[in-house]
Structure 1
Amino acid sequence: MQYKAIVLDVDGTLVAHGEPSARPAVAAAVKAAQKKGVKVVIASGRTSFAIEPQILGGIKPDYMICANGAQILDGQGRLLYSQDLTAEEMYALVDFFEDFDYPLAFNFTDNYYVYVEYKAMWEFYKKATGHGEYVLDGEDQDRHLESMPFGAFAILPPEQVEKFQEKYGYLGLKFVPYRPGYYDVMQADVDKARGMERLMELTGWTAEELVFMGDNENDIAMMQLAGCSYCMANGSEKARAAAKHIAPSVQEEGVRQVVEQLFLQ
């Protein structure tokens, strides 16, 4: 099969948790495949400003699917598609999280703004990614007056997700676990696969021409869509079950090994 694009998740797939960037050998393999004509797509829960070339180890993607599919950009950073939270959805999240003092951050075009419990959110993001410069104190809660966010990231006990849905389930918001207690929050019709389908409409690619690599539950729909999909060995149980193949772990540079096998033989 002649694959036209490799689609890569960032955290836990391309970049090991706690490390600041993709390892040089991993980035070199991806760039070598790109030189051979394979298109590179980054598909991440991160927003576009948090996917800089330095984080990607110098990889310059041809396209980016960001905020779990709520943003699509081309290689020059031009926005091709966006989908915002509604004011009702955003205010429901703020009201609930303020009641319990659970950390809540919104994904805006320029930075993550933490509306509830800034310090706790910053410390988590710094520990998880190795840097926290994109996480700003938004507890004055006025950033959305400039533009609405694309999504949210929330820290709360799993049982509290059920309580939120009991009260606000009519909104259809999804809490997709990054790991238990840590959630990407997005609209019902937003996920990486839906973003990929929109990109396929622009590029003419078919699902069979895609190779996808991810590690977590927000990658499951994409694993099911792509003709060839890998879950990292370090991935969640549900993600491993959804993927067509298992790749070596991010610590074993699984992306490098798969790219070399598929594209650089």
Structure 2
Amino acid sequence: MIKLAAFDVDGTLRDRSFLPESTKEALRLLREKGVALAICTGRSEYELAPLREELGIDWAVTCNGAHVGYQGRTVVGNPFPAALVRGWLEHAERAGHELLLYGAEKMFLNRHDAPRFLRAREEIGFMEPAVVRPGDWDRLPHIYQAIVFCEEAEQAGYTSLSEEALYTHRWRTWAVDLNPAGMNKAVGLRRLLEHLGLKPDEAAAFGDGLNDMEMMQLVGHAVVMGNGCDELKAVATFVTKPLRDDGVAHAVRHLETTGAIR
């Protein structure tokens, strides 16, 4: 039986500002049945706070698994070494790249003139980051994820600065996520399940993209949105309708009908 349901955000819970009323109702039903709810996303805790509060979700696995929070407070995290973050900032300054840094409570951008960040914000939405200047680099809080706005041929200038291999996810030809070694959504979700004393087969995951793959392979119930990619659908235990066709609600009804939710 499902005791926790974890949801990707973009393409699963919402499409930019579009959030189906049916999704809100489905989440309310899950809460009423005692199912714990979690967001599981590549975005930051800071960015997701308004959505989490609107939907009544207490838990958030953010930064592609590097941070786990409860009602916005850090429970467990795996930040980058401060020296590595400073090295990235120095390299970005020399190369003229835009670098977005995710802390638990704030986001930071290294430049005022940031056309690629603005393009990404237009395409998928970002909250406004604080601009951090060289004199502030040593006062940054723990950083759990970075986005480098650069071409693939330029990303080695960042990955080569780490003593360990980094988890990278390129989501545009000109933008790549950087996470600590070994991080992905499944790692963070497993930490949350262990914290709650739950087994992976007692969890359901809802997602649509390739960075949901490890999470889907971890849980007992892998729900892929109808608008999801074919590679993810291949590992699904259930493919639901697209987000805009009440996909989350359709999946919750299916899980209830099959007895996975009681």
Matched, 1:97 2:96: no
1:43 aligns with 2:40: yes
Query: 2:60: which partner in 1?
Result: 64
SS in 2 for 1:153: strand
Q: 1:141 to 1:119 in 2, by over 3 A?
A: farther
Give a deviation string over 1:18-47, Cα, whole Å, max 9, x none: x22522221121112211211111111122
| Partner residue in 2 for 1:32 | 29
> Structure 1-normalised TM-score?
0.85
Q: CA deviation at 1:9?
A: 0.7
Corresponding residue of 1:4: 3
Task: Compute the displacement of 1:179 (Å).
Answer: 4.0
- Counterpart contact for 1:212–1:229, Cα < 8 Å: yes
Tell me which of 200, 203, 215 is aligned to 2:196: 203
RMSD of aligned alpha carbons: 2.6
AA paired with 1:104?
L
Tell me how far 1:114 sits from its aligned partner.
0.8
Question: Can you give the 5+ residue segments of structure 2 that lack an aligned partner in the other structure?
Answer: none
Shift of 1:234: 2.8
Q: 1:184 aligned to 2:177? A: yes
- Name the CA shift for 1:83/1:133 in 2 (closer, same or farther; >3 Å): same
Offset at 1:238?
Answer: 3.9
Name the structure 1 match of 2:13: 14
1:73 aligns with one of 69, 74, 97? 69
% identity of equivalent residues: 22
Question: Are residues 197 and 57 of structure 1, via their aligned partners in 2, closer, same or farther at CA, if it must alter by over 3 Å?
Answer: closer
How far apart in 2 are the matches of 1:78 and 1:37? 22
Q: How far apart are the structure 2 equivalents of 1:23 and 1:220?
A: 24
Give the 3-state SS of the residue equivalent to 2:255 in structure 1. helix
1:128 equivalent among 115, 118, 123: 123
User: Do structure 1's residue 112 and structure 2's residue 111 form an aligned pair?
Assistant: no
**SS of 2:22 mapped into structure 1:** helix
Encode CA deviations 1:113-149: one digit per residue, 9 max, x unaligned: 112465325413431344x443232244625514221
User: Structure 1's 264 and 116: CA in aligned 2 closer, same or farther, altered over 3 A?
Assistant: farther
Partner of 1:249: 242
The within-5 A match list for 1:234-245 is 234-245=227-238
Distance 1:29 1:113, change over 3 A: same
Q: Give 5+ residue unaligned stretches, structure 1.
A: none
Deviation, 1:178, is 3.0
CA contact (8 A) 2:49 2:72 kept: no
| Structure 1 residue identity aligned to 2:123 | A
TM-score of the pair, normalised by structure 2? 0.86
Letter paired with 1:195:
G
Distance 2:41 2:237 in 1: 20
Aligned to 2:77: 82
In 2, Cα distance between the equivalents of 1:168 and 1:262? 46
CA shift at 1:173, angstroms? 1.6
Q: Aligned to 1:52, what secondary structure does the other structure show?
A: helix
State the AA in 1 paired with 2:194.
Answer: E
